[in-house]
Structure 1
């Protein structure tokens, strides 16, 4: 019994801060300072004592953010796989912070590349009209009206126009290069394509589109 209590105290003490080597490397990767990282780490361990976020827990978080998205389970699974860099079936603190840093501090092109991977439902490296239509429909659902948004054309028509703009070589598929190039040049398109992974809209500032 005494050993058990001792182990629990040691675990709690250990999880108060990240090892110096780990926090230094993570600070370089994320751009956050050591104090911020240790604060986030304490909160992460408090919410997830195992030190890992399971797919089920991640899906619950995503469901809270996007309750009206009919495809939220599939999208959450794809997002989880993207964040689970070592493919162990869980997201640890390092993976979580790198993902969070990319979403909040990454360049528009980095965010668009992540969005492309998420929208590429079958993982074949290109986006089809159907996949773009799914993105648009999800956006309409997030806006609270699955049938359309006031002042915006029906989802199918909107998706066709967006697809035509992204498919620069008109071959019927959108590559990651086309996706990131067009998105990084047009803030309106970027906001649409990043709405499900970015927490706020981009401004017209050209520096944000580099």
Structure 2
């Protein structure tokens, strides 16, 4: 009897173990070690036996990690959509951990790549001027009234300048390569582009600072 139960317990642990490929990826992506990830995974499965989170469940957890803020009203929705690659309305443990780790401690390039996905509203793989304008308008809204900052132009003017700076080959579209390259080379531009997904309290002040190139 005892041998039977022990065997069932061992089988259950094997059934819920993270695939080695996912485990290795998450060690690199999140900075957590194997034992920590296995513990989080087991806890995740206790709360969500299906191994998947729905959008409402994800939003509830997201708000625990990052207390709700008017600046982030729609961010959890967009983040969920970014990682729900097959559009089935759920994300798994691997996708969940990657999403949270990128927000909290990803590299600038990783965060820029995430921001690009969020800003690419029609999912065509490039950013248009209209999409950059929406980003700038959101930043202006986050900053309150940008008119109080000296030398801050209207959103349309600012968006055109930012778009020109990001569109390295002047083909009328911004690729993820251009977006991450320019952002990783210019701190001010990076702060602007990441304003919606970073936790820095100083981000709201960045809109008052002209971008690095041009006038």
Same fold (TM over 0.5): yes
Aligned partners of 1:86 and 1:185: how far apart in 2? 33
Contact 2:128–2:172 under 8 Å retained in 1: yes
Question: In structure 2, which of residues 146, 149, 152 is the aligned counterpart of residue 148 of structure 1?
Answer: 146
| Corresponding residue of 1:31 | 31
Which deviations, in whole Å up to 9, do the C-alpha atoms of 1:134-171 show, x marking residues without a partner? 1112223333x1x4363143322322221121122223
The alignment's C-alpha RMSD in Å is: 3.6
Q: Distance in 2 between matches of 1:76 and 1:187?
A: 25
Distance in 2 (alpha carbons) for counterparts of 1:76 and 1:128: 23
Equivalent residue number for residue 5 of structure 1? none
The alignment status of 1:65 with 2:63, answered yes or no, reads no
Local SS of the residue matching 2:126: coil
Q: 1:93 to 1:157 in 2, by over 3 A?
A: same
Please give the alpha-carbon distance, in whole angstroms, between the structure 2 residues aligned to 1:120 and 1:96.
20
Q: Which residue of 2 aligns with 1:55?
A: 55
Alpha-carbon distance change, 105 to 87 in structure 1, aligned in 2, over 3 angstroms: same
**Within the alignment, does 1:97 sit opposite 2:100 as a pair?**
no
Q: 2: distance between equivalents of 1:48 and 1:140?
A: 39
With the length of structure 1 as denominator, give the TM-score of the two structures: 0.68
Report the Cα offset of residue 131 of structure 1: 0.6
CA contact (8 A) 2:103 2:111 kept: yes
The 3 A distance-change label for structure 1 pair 86 and 129 is closer
Matches within 5 A, 1:181-200: 181-200=181-200
Structure 2 vs 1, CA of residues 198 and 50 (structure 1 numbering), >3 Å: closer, same or farther?
farther
Which range is displaced more, 105-114 or 126-135? Answer: 105-114
Structure 1 residues 88 and 200, CA, compared in 2 at 3 Å: closer, same or farther?
Answer: same
Q: How big is each residue's C-alpha offset from its partner over 1:108-145, in whole Å with a ceiling of 9 and x where there is no partner?
A: 223212211211111222211111111112223333x1
- After superposition, the Cα gap between the structure-2 partners of 1:115 and 1:42, relative to the gap in structure 1 and judged at 3 Å, is same
Change in Cα spacing, 1:31 to 1:179, as seen in structure 2 (3 Å) is same
User: Which runs of no fewer than 5 residues in structure 2 stay unpaired?
Assistant: 1-8, 203-215
Contact 1:126–1:176 (CA<8 Å) still a contact in 2? yes
Match of 1:4 in 2: none
Report how many residues are paired. 186
